[in-house]
Chains A and B, each alone.
Chain A
Amino acid sequence: MTGTTAAMKQAQRPAADAAPVGRRRRRRRHLGSHVFLMLLLAALLAPVVWALLSAFKPANDIVRSPLTFDPSAVTFDNYAAMFQDVPLGQSFVNTTVVLVFKGAITMFFAPLAAYAFAKYRFVGQNLIFGAVLVTLMMPTIVLIVPLLLQMKSLGWVDTYQALILPGSVDAFAIFWMRQVIAAVPDELLDAARVDGSGEFGTFLRVVVPVIRPGLAGLAVLTIMNIYNDFVWPVVVASSERMATLQVMLSTLAQNITGNRIGADYATVTAELLAASSVALVPLLVLFIVLQRHFINGILAGSVKG
């Protein structure tokens, strides 16, 4: 809202100062901004673009001339070799299964809990929310050893449950959604209650539609976190059958440091870039499709003023 009014005010301003000098100066100032922002953008996109393009180069060229790209020499050999060497398909299936179940659990239970924290008063509220904040400050690895022992005693090592359940109702998601839900006016909730709406009904029919931008942001963030998760999966499910995409990728990298000699280095590097590209693309596509929701979601969830 404030953004729009600010935009309108600023849009009106050039008309107010009619002096052409002022306008020219403004344009020149923007030129400086564009140069700076473009350079920064180029630097940020360069590594990704370089990797995506290099994966189509003959393996020896990647190593010998890393800065050139010859469109006539484009090859799919690296992809073919990589798919032959690495069971990437299975790891894609694993990542998808974890994504669907863990994502669904987070997307349902985190906003629900956040709603309780934001709009109700109950016994133990501060204690539990304090615990949420402490969890946020805890490095993931702190809990790895006891969690792994727990999984061992349950017989869950190398299973989907182990990948899905721990951390499924994420503390960060609750913290984030509480900010979003706190901004929902109480009058809206009271009006729904007067109309005879039940507590859960109010959440579903009044709160959820209002916080849709925040939920969309949370969805993208959750997909990203699960898709990119690495430390826990590599510890609890590192077998070839259960490895997620990121775990599979990391085993490839260990080959690269093991093969430091000439030709081997080139082929491993080429396969690595091909595999990295395959891992990058789904998330990039998802992000580009959903970018508006994602950015608005972060805007909705962060602390303002």
Chain B
Amino acid sequence: MTTVSAAHHSVARRRRTRTTGLRRRSAPYLFVLPFVAVFLVFSVYPLIFTARLSFTNWRGTGAAQWVGWDNYTYLLTSSAFWGSLGNSGVLWLLIVPIQLVVAIVVAVLLSSATLKLRGLYRVGFIVPFVTPLVAVAQIWVVLFDQEYGAVNALLGLAGLPDVGWLTTSAWAKPTLALLFLWKTTGFVVIIVLSGLQSIDADLYEAAELDGASKSRQLLSITVPLLRRTVMFAVVLQTLAVFQMFAEPFVLTQGGPYNSTTTAGYHLYNHITRADLGTGAANSFLLVFLVMGLSLFFVRLLRAKD
């Protein structure tokens, strides 16, 4: 009697573990299924379509003609393409290094426990990040207007001459960079703060006992230990800068004289000219460039690990 019931019991249990095992093995597939479905239909399929498009001269209607690598060789020898990359490169230089330094300094100041009003600063700094870009870009247009803008009025009070912020090719890039810096620096501050939180406080205590100054501590403890956080921020911001499109679209429409035609905006220019094949090829060149840059930064900042 007992043996039977024991055997029965163990069979039941084995069956149960087998079904939970099966369930456990099939669970992740079910969990990712909705994502994969949306991803296949609205990302992978269009991506394959774009890949094929990049080898044709299709203009949106009629039959597409296979042109091989023509679109790619055209772009790689086109000064407009390189110019747009150059513009994005200059914007990167105007944005990422400045943003990192400011964010690290602000985050270090904000992480001091004895500093009052920390909460207010944290909230205040991130306000620009949550504002709608289109609304802000339009406020920018009004603020930086050469004749009627508040910025030039302010310069006038200081006895300085008017500046064509959005109408001269020398100033349009810095004005655009300023919008981007204004909007995203608070976000980078929060990312750096999260990195700072994970640094062991004992290290600072030991350094203090050894008589290291605050600035010395910043350079010898904080900066090296922030490596991974900094890498994360740099990669994220590099992607954002090279993909930048909506900002110049609202602010300057890529002008004056293409000075704010970013890599992302150049892509859009092909589309408006219905030059879809070239646009598709441009997309892929841009993706490869951005991937290359990301890997480069990951390697560079990981070097000492």
Contacts and interface: CB of A to CB of B under 8 A. Distances in A.
A272 B139 CA distance: 8
A115 interface: yes
Contacts of B106: 37, 40
A94 to B, nearest CB: 14
A139 B286 contact: yes
Given A33-B112, A44-B128, A165 B38 contact: yes
A149 B294 CA distance: 31
Interface stretch (B1-9, B29-37, B76-84): B29-37
B297 interface: no
Given A63-B148, A66-B149, A147 B42 contact: yes
A258 to B, nearest CB: 12
A33 B109 contact: yes
B123 A305 contact: no
A27 to B, nearest CB: 9
Interface in B180-229: 182, 185-187, 190-191, 193-195, 197-201, 205, 225, 228-229
B246 interface: yes
A10 interface: yes
Interface in A263-305: 265-266, 269, 272-273, 275-276, 279-280, 283-284, 286-288, 291, 294-295, 298-300, 302-305
A303 B268 contact: no
B64 interface: no
A199 B31 CA distance: 10
Most buried by A among B132, B243, B263, B267: B132
Interface residues of B, number: 105
A95 to B, nearest CB: 10
A30 B198 contact: no
Given A47-B136, A272-B142, A304-B198, A141 B113 contact: no
A294 B129 CA distance: 12
Contact of B50 (A143, A220, A303): A143
B143 A50 contact: yes
A250 B134 contact: yes
A143 B43 contact: yes
B195 A36 contact: no
Contacts of B12: none
B28 to A, nearest CB: 4
Contacts of B140: 47
B13 interface: no
Interface of B is mostly: helix
A7 to B, nearest CB: 4
B38 A41 contact: no
A26 B115 CA distance: 10
A11 B114 contact: yes
A304 B230 CA distance: 9
Interface stretch (B67-75, B92-100, B275-283): B275-283
Given A66-B150, A120-B27, A304-B198, A138 B279 contact: no
B195 to A, nearest CB: 6
A14 interface: yes
A141 B31 contact: no
B23 interface: yes
A145 B280 contact: yes
Contact of A145 (B50, B154, B205): B50
A250 B250 contact: yes
B126 A295 contact: yes
Interface in A88-118: 109-110, 112-113, 115-117
A150 B280 CA distance: 16
Contact of A283 (B132, B194, B279): B132
A223 to B, nearest CB: 9
Interface stretch (A70-78, A79-87, A226-234): A226-234
What are the nearest 7 A-B pairs in CB distance? A146-B46, A120-B28, A199-B27, A6-B201, A66-B150, A116-B28, A116-B31
Interface of B: 20, 23-25, 27-29, 31-32, 34-36, 38-39, 42-47, 49-50, 53, 102, 106, 109-117, 120-128, 130-143, 148-150, 153-154, 157, 182, 185-187, 190-191, 193-195, 197-201, 205, 225, 228-229, 231-232, 239, 242-243, 245-246, 249-250, 263-264, 267-268, 271, 276, 279-280, 283-284, 286-287, 290-291, 294
Given A6-B113, A121-B28, 14 more contacts: A44-B182, A45-B127, A134-B287, A171-B43, A193-B20, A246-B133, A246-B134, A249-B134, A252-B138, A273-B142, A294-B126, A299-B197, A303-B229, A304-B195
Interface of A: 2-3, 5-7, 9-11, 14, 26, 30, 33-34, 36-37, 40-41, 44-45, 47-48, 50-51, 62-67, 109-110, 112-113, 115-117, 120-122, 125, 128, 131-132, 134-147, 149-150, 165-169, 171, 174, 193, 198-200, 203, 220, 224, 227-228, 230-231, 245-246, 249-250, 252-253, 256, 265-266, 269, 272-273, 275-276, 279-280, 283-284, 286-288, 291, 294-295, 298-300, 302-305
